[in-house]
Amino acid sequence: MQFHFSAPSLPKSGSLVILAGKGGKLGSFGEELDKILDGGITRAFKCNRFNGENGQFLDIIAPNHGRLNRVLVAGTGKASELDHHSFERLGGSIVARLGCSGEKNLNVLIDLGDDLEIKPHEAAAHVAIGAKLRSYRFDKYRTKEGADKKPSLTKFSVLTKSSGRAETLFESHSPVLDGVFFTRDLVSEPANVLFPKSFAERLQGLSELGVDVEVLNEQQMKEMGMGALLGVAQGSDHEPQMVIMRYQGVGSSDEFPLAFVGKGVTFDTGGISIKPAAGMEQMKWDMGGAGAVSGIMHALAARKAHANVVGIVGLVENMPSAKAQRPGDVVTSMSGQTIEVINTDAEGRLVLADALTYVQNTFSPKTVIDLATLTGAMIISLGNEHAGCFTNDDGLAEALLSAGQKSGDKLWRFPVSPAYDKLINTPIADMKNVGPRGAGSITAAQFLQRFIDDGVKWAHLDIAGTVWAEADAPLWEKGGTGFGVRVLDQYVRDEFEK
- Which sequence positions are flagged as catalytic? 275, 349
> Which of 96, 118, 110 shows the shortest CA–CA distance to 158?
110
Which of 272, 263, 443, 289 minimizes the C-alpha distance to 353?
263
Which residue type is seen at 359?
V
Cα separation of 315 and 203, whole Å?
Answer: 12
Q: Who's near 285: CB < 8 A, 6+ residues apart? A: 187, 188, 291, 373, 467, 468, 480
Q: Which residues sit opposite 157 in a β-bridge?
A: 4, 107
Residue 418 CB partners (closer than 8 Å, separation 6+): none
Q: Are 330 and 341 in contact (CB under 8 A)?
A: yes
> Cα(334)–Cα(19) distance, rounded to whole angstroms?
58
Phi, psi torsion values for 380, nearest 5 degrees:
-60, -40
Beta bridge partners of 241: 315
- Of 204, 91, 182, 97, nearest to 138 (Cα)? 182
**For 376-395, b where at least 16 C-beta lie within 10 A, e where not — what string?**
ebbbebbebebbbbbbbeee
At residue 137's C-alpha, the angle toward residues 182 and 410, to 5°, is 60
* Distance between CA atoms of residues 161 and 425, nearest Å: 63
SS3 (DSSP) at 273? coil
Q: Could you write out the DSSP letters of every residue in 417-434?
A: -HHHHGGG--SSSSEES-
Q: Report helix angle 163-188 to 120-135, nearest 10.
A: 30
Q: In 136-251, which residue ranges form alpha helices assigned H by DSSP?
A: 163-188, 196-204, 218-223, 227-233
